[in-house]
Amino acid sequence: MNVLMVAAECAPFVKLGGLADVIGTLPKELNKLHADTRVMMPFHRQIKDKYAAQTKHMADFYIHFAGRDVYVGVEGLFFNDVTYYFIDNEEYFGDAVYRGGDAEGEQYAYFCRAVIEAAGRIGFLPDVLHCNDWQTGLIPLLLKTQYSHWEIGRARTIFTIHNMMYQGEYAFEAFHHWLGIDPRYDTPEFMHNYECASFMKAALVFADRISTVSPTYAQEIKTPEFSYRLEGILNARAWDTWGIVNGINTEEFDPETDPYLQYHFNKDDLTGKKKNKEKLISDLGLSISPGVPIIGMVSRLTAQKGLDLVKYILDELMCTEDIAFVVLGTGDHDYEEFFRFMENKYKGRVCSYIAYNNAVAHQIYAASDLFLMPSKFEPCGISQMIALRYGTLPIVRETGGLCDTVQSYNEFEETGNGFSFRNYNAHEMLSVIRYALNTLRSPKRRKGLIQRAMESDNSFASSAKKYLELYQSIL
C-alpha cells in the first residue's frame, strides 16, 4: 500500500501547531507496518534555508493556476526513515507559512493543484492521499472533478480534521478564478457554507473517508457547538467518519532518557521524579518544601485553553491550599499579564514563565504533581499525554481527546489515571483540583495513580494501527 500524507507543516522542518507533530511522527510508524508512507508539503523558506543542500530534484513543470501558467518544482529528501517531497515555488512559499487573508487561500489552492500533478511525476503513485486540515481540502474535490481521467485520479482520499475552527473560507469567485472550479459546486450541497465557500466543506463532501483526532471529537463536531455551521454534512457522513486519537513521540518524551532532565526515572522507581521536582523548585525560585504539590500548566495562553476558569479561581485556590502553581506559555496579552500579576502577588508560590522554552517545558511535565488542562474544546490535545508519560496526573475538562486519554480516578475501584470535570464551570474545576490534592495525600493512592498514568499507551504506534485499518477500509 502506498500512502501520500499531505500537510502544510511537519516537524522538524516547520512547526507552528500540533499538526506538525502528527505528520512528523505518524508516517514513520506506518512504515513499520509495511505501508509505504511518504509526506508532501510546501518547500517553505525555513526548510529551504536549512535542508536545500540535502534535497534531490525530482521534477519541475507548470500548472494552469489563476489564469496563468505557474512553476512547480518538487524536491525530495529521505530523512529519519521517511521520504519527503517538497513543493517548491518562491512566489507562494518564499515568505510566511500562513499568509493570512485571501493570499493564504491562493497560496494553498495552488498547493492543492500542485500536489495532485506532482504525485504523478515522482515515481510514487499513491493508493491513498491522506489530506490534513483545510489547506489540503481541495484535493479530494479536484481529484473527482478535474483529474478523474488521470492515473492519480484512482487514488482514494482521507481527510483528517485537526481543528474545525479553521475552515479556509473564501468567496466562490476566488475558487473559480484560482482553479476553474465549476459554478455548479457553489451550493450548500457541495462547497458553499452560508456566506462563503470553503476548503473544508469541499473536503467533507468529496473525501472517501473523514477522520478526526479523537473519537469524542468525532461526536462533538456533529453538534452546532463544535461544528462551526458544518454539522449538516458531518451528520450526513457520520458513518464515514473515524475518530483516531493522536499519539506522542515516545522517544522524545521518555522519562528514562530525556536529555532535558538531570534525573531519570520510571514507573517502578520514582526517585528521579522527586529529585527533578527539587531542582525545578530551585531553578524557578519557588519558596516551598518538596512535599508541597506543584500544579503545572504548559499551554498557549488563549481562551480555548480554559484560562477564564483559571483566572476566576486562582486567587481562591492559592489562599486556601498549600500548593505552588507554575505556568509556561505565551498568547493573549491579558492572560500573560494576569499570570505575571499572580506571580508578584504570591511570590515564591506562583511562577509565570511567559515564553516558550522546550527544556523548561519538559522539566515542568516531569516535576509537577498535577497538570491542569481545563480546555473549552480540545480536538485531541498532546500535553495531557505527555504529562501521563511522566507520571504527572492530569486534571482535564471532559471534552474531545481529553475524554479519550484521561480516565477519571475512581476511589472505590482504584481505577483511572487522572481527574476530570464535565461542565465549563470554574468552581466545578476547583472542586476537582481539591479532590485531586486530597487524593495525593494518600501514598498508596498516589502511587497507583502514577503507575497507571505511566502505563497509558499513547504512542503513535497504537494510532498507526488504526490508521492502517482506515486505509484498508477504502481500498
**What is the pLDDT confidence band of residue 298, given thresholds at 50, 70 and 90?**
very high
Whole-number pLDDT of residue 194: 78
What mean pLDDT do residues 265-290 have?
97
Among the residue ranges 55-69, 186-200, 206-220, 242-256, the one predicted with the least confidence is: 186-200
pLDDT surpassing 90 at residue 189: no
27-50 residue pLDDT tens: 999 999 999 999 999 999 999 999
Beta-sheet strands, E only, within 238-339:
241-243, 294-298, 324-328
Residues 448 and 371 in one domain: yes
Kindly provide the b/e burial profile for residues 111-128, where b requires at least 16 CB atoms within 10 angstroms of the residue's own CB. bbbbbbbbbbebebebbb
Residues 17 and 77 in one domain: yes
Residues 207 and 93 in one domain: yes
Q: For residue 260, is it within any domain?
A: no
Q: Is 391 left (phi over 0), alpha (psi -120 to 50) or beta?
A: left
d(CA 39, CA 461) in angstroms, rounded, equals 18
Higher pLDDT, 125 or 17: 125
Q: Is 253 helix (H, G, I), strand (E, B) or coil?
A: coil
Write out the three cell numbers for 262.
Answer: 538531570
d(CA 289, CA 188) in angstroms, rounded, equals 61
Write out the three cell numbers for 379.
Answer: 480536538
CA dist list (Å): 236 to 227, 232, 421, 467: 13, 6, 31, 22
d(CA 265, CA 255) in angstroms, rounded, equals 6
Q: Which helix (H) or strand (E) holds 119?
A: helix 101-119
Whole-number pLDDT of residue 188: 86
Residues 193 and 223 in one domain: yes
Cell 514507573 -> residue: 267
Q: For residue 259, is it within any domain?
A: no
Residues 465 and 432 in one domain: no
58-112 residue pLDDT tens: 999 999 999 999 999 999 999 999 999 999 999 999 889 999 999 999 999 999 9
pLDDT surpassing 90 at residue 18: no
Residues 288 and 227 in one domain: no
Q: For residue 403, is it within any domain?
A: yes
98 exposure class (CB count in 10 Å sphere: 0-12, 13-18, 19+): middle
Q: Are strands 56-65 and 36-42 parallel, antiparallel or unpaired?
A: unpaired
Residues 20 and 144 in one domain: yes
- Report yes or no: 341 and 311 within 8 Å, Cβ to Cβ: no
Total Cβ atoms within 10 A of residue 469: 11
Whole-number pLDDT of residue 264: 98
Whole-number pLDDT of residue 92: 97
**What is the pLDDT confidence band of residue 16, given thresholds at 50, 70 and 90?**
confident
d(CA 276, CA 379) in angstroms, rounded, equals 31
Which residue, 387, 372, 367, 386, is CA-closest to 271? 367
- CA triple 247-39-70, angle to 5 deg: 140
Q: For residue 264, is it within any domain?
A: no
Q: Is 82 helix (H, G, I), strand (E, B) or coil?
A: strand
Q: What is the CA radius of gyration of the chain?
A: 23
Q: For residue 253, is it within any domain?
A: no
Write out the three cell numbers for 20.
Answer: 506538525
DSSP 183: G
Which residue, 400, 404, 384, 397, is CA-closest to 453? 384
Strand partners, 197: 170, 192
457-470 residue pLDDT tens: 999 999 999 999 99
Query: Considering the chain, what is the average pLDDT of its residues?
Result: 96
Which residue, 379, 451, 442, is CA-closest to 416? 451
Write out the three cell numbers for 165.
Answer: 475552527
pLDDT surpassing 90 at residue 226: yes
152-171 residue pLDDT tens: 999 999 999 999 999 999 99
Residues 316 and 277 in one domain: yes
- Report yes or no: 22 and 246 within 8 Å, Cβ to Cβ: yes
C-alpha of 319 from chain center: 35
d(CA 201, CA 134) in angstroms, rounded, equals 9
- Report yes or no: 29 and 3 within 8 Å, Cβ to Cβ: no
Residues 84 and 171 in one domain: yes
422-458 residue pLDDT tens: 999 999 999 999 999 999 999 999 999 999 999 999 9
d(CA 451, CA 448) in angstroms, rounded, equals 5
CATH of the domain at 417: 3.40.50.2000
Whole-number pLDDT of residue 17: 83
Residues 364 and 296 in one domain: yes
- For residue 238, the one-letter residue type is A
Q: For residue 258, is it within any domain?
A: no
Q: What is the pTM of this model?
A: 0.93
Q: For residue 263, is it within any domain?
A: no
Whole-number pLDDT of residue 95: 87
Which residue, 67, 66, 85, 63, is CA-closest to 76? 85
Q: For residue 433, is it within any domain?
A: yes
Total number of domains in the chain: 2
- CA triple 357-358-361, angle to 5 deg: 85
d(CA 254, CA 263) in angstroms, rounded, equals 12
Domain that holds residue 299: 271-457
339-376 residue pLDDT tens: 999 999 999 999 999 998 999 999 999 999 999 999 99
Whole-number pLDDT of residue 159: 99
Cell 512559499 -> residue: 93
Residues 183 and 312 in one domain: no
User: For 120-193, where are the alpha helices, taking DSSP H only?
Assistant: 138-145, 172-179
Residues 57 and 171 in one domain: yes
